[in-house]
Amino acid sequence: MPRKVIWIGLMISIVLFFLILTVHFYTEGYRHYAIINTMTESAQTAEVESLDKSSRIDPTVCYMDTTEFENKFEALFKKNVNVKLKKESFAFSFLNDSGDIKAVSITVTDDRNIPYHRTYRTDVAGND
């Protein structure tokens, strides 16, 4: 009888361990996906909102105010993120080609010091 109770307790412990491990794995996966998805959506919206519409002479070239883009991205990211972040930091790197911006590299570091990197390339002419 005592061996049976020990065996059942061991089996319950193993099942609980794997259950907790599975829940943790999927929770972290959702956290990563939610942050990356929010970064993409915020970058797309911030890019459209920070275009300099007065410089659209050539339809294949557009100019963007980088300071305005950074501010709008940060505001949109903080508003739309689906996970709790206590403190996040942002780093931006712009790929310029004779004044117009070809791509934006964004790194968000969360409160756990985990960097989330996303590169957003725009195509204002509609060509892929």
Q: At 58, is the secondary structure helix, strand, or coil?
A: coil
pTM of the model: 0.77
- Contact (Cβ atoms closer than 8 angstroms) between residue 108 and residue 90: yes
**pLDDT score at 111:** 86
Taking only the tens place, the pLDDT of each residue in 44-61 is 888 878 776 666 566 666
Taking only the tens place, the pLDDT of each residue in 13-31 is 999 999 999 999 999 999 9
pLDDT at 87 over 70: yes
- Paired with 103 in beta bridges are 95, 121
| pLDDT mean over 55-81 | 80
